[in-house]
Amino acid sequence: MDSLTKARVSKVRAFNRFYTKVIGVLQAGMLDSPYSLAEVRVLFELAHDAPMETGRLRAVLDLDAGYLSRILTRLDADGLVARERSTSDARKQLVRLTPAGAETFGKLDERSAEEIERLLARLPDEGQERLVAGMATIRRLLGDDGGRAPYVIRPPRTGDLGWVVFRHGDLYAREYGWGTDFEQLVATIVGELDFSRDAGWIAEVDGERAGCVFCVRQDDTTAKLRMLLVEPSARGLGIGRRLVEECLLHAKAAGFKRITLWTRDCLVSARRIYQAAGFELESEEKATENGLEVTDQVWSRDL
């Protein structure tokens, strides 16, 4: 193990020690209950998918068969789970929560949500967004594709345009230091939308707005892609790429021959999406935004 790897291993171990302390894994009982983390996880799985065959439960939790058996024996003795033989295969055992088990899990689940709410309350909105986005990144990098939430793409509804202006102003101020002039620019663009000729799309994850893009008429032959945005917590799901695809499909169907967009060189992730979609850099020039030097760029492609 080289020195760089040793340093990274040390940092990961330090984070593990810190986070287990934060969530109370080292305490005798989770959430001020008499039950361990593993026992609470068993209750969680059974609350969301029961009855469950014990072999599948063991695989989901990656637990030793003997260890799981001891957990189920204790939960059974406390009246929280019930076990029975499968009617289709007597060799298999099914386990489910009892009414008392469901009630116990409900209280633990509520207590867990309250503890996380208190944890988040210690952070400003920006800190909460960075924390959630960081956790999503860790899950994605470590291969937790199953944890990805599905998303939907839909047309704008009442209230969406106000959200578009707010999120552009708020997010870009936090991430890049751009000020109210930029938010006013977005507000102007939104105010000029005419949905008899223009189109837009809103991305949702778990019913919450997570991104947007708009296709605006520039002239009879040219469309303009505008206001692409993806929330930090939803990045990595492919939403930005899908929104750009929707915009391109609409522009082609509407008969436009060319499409352009305006962006800035610091928006690296967006630029990669544009390049992958076939856009090429047409021009760029230096500018300022809220006293900061920026590079404005125009990208375009034929349709």
Provide the pLDDT for residue 222: 97
- What is the SS3 assignment for the chain? CCHHHHHHHHHHHHHHHHHHHHHCCCCCCHHHCCCCHHHHHHHHHHHHCCCEEHHHHHHHHCCCHHHHHHHHHHHHHCCCEEEEECCCCCCCEEEEECHHHHHHHHHHHHHHHHHHHHHHHCCCHHHHHHHHHHHHHHHHHCCCHHHCCCEEEECCCCCHHHHHHHHHHHHHHHHHCCCHHHHHHHHHHHHCCCCCCCEEEEEEECCEEEEEEEEEECCCCEEEEEEEEECHHHCCCCHHHHHHHHHHHHHHHCCCCEEEEEEECCCHHHHHHHHHCCCEEEEEEEEEECCEEEEEEEEEEEC
Residues of the chain under the 70 pLDDT cut: 24-29, 50, 144-149
Q: By the 8 A CB rule, do 296 and 285 touch? A: yes
User: Is residue 135 in some structural domain?
Assistant: no
Provide the pLDDT for residue 149: 60
294 and 235 share one domain: yes
CA distance 215 to 223: 7
C-alpha dihedral sign at 64, 9, 238, 130: positive
Whole-model pTM?
A: 0.56
User: Is residue 255 in some structural domain?
Assistant: yes
Q: Which residue range forms the structural domain that includes residue 246?
A: 151-302
C-alpha dihedral sign at 241, 243, 249, 255: negative
User: Is residue 27 in some structural domain?
Assistant: yes
**Amino acid found at 245:** E
60 and 100 share one domain: yes
110 and 159 share one domain: no
Provide the pLDDT for residue 242: 94
CA distance 181 to 188: 10
CATH number, domain containing residue 83 = 1.10.10.10
Q: By the 8 A CB rule, do 259 and 269 touch? A: no
204 and 282 share one domain: yes
297 and 170 share one domain: yes
Provide the pLDDT for residue 285: 96
Provide the pLDDT for residue 145: 57
If phi > 0 it is left, if psi is from -120 to 50 it is alpha, else beta; for residue 27 that is beta
155 and 41 share one domain: no
CA distance 220 to 15: 56
User: Is residue 18 in some structural domain?
Assistant: yes
100 and 199 share one domain: no
116 and 157 share one domain: no
Provide the pLDDT for residue 112: 85
178 and 274 share one domain: yes
Report how many domains make up the chain.
Answer: 2
Provide the pLDDT for residue 201: 97
Our CA angle for 249, 258, 234, nearest 5°, is 45
Q: What is the pLDDT of residues 204-255, one digit of tens each?
A: 987 789 999 999 999 999 999 999 999 988 888 889 999 999 999 999 999 9
Provide the pLDDT for residue 128: 85
User: Is residue 134 in some structural domain?
Assistant: no
User: Is residue 145 in some structural domain?
Assistant: no
Provide the pLDDT for residue 65: 86
168 and 297 share one domain: yes
186 and 262 share one domain: yes
183 and 288 share one domain: yes
CATH number, domain containing residue 284 = 3.40.630.30
User: Is residue 187 in some structural domain?
Assistant: yes
User: Is residue 128 in some structural domain?
Assistant: no
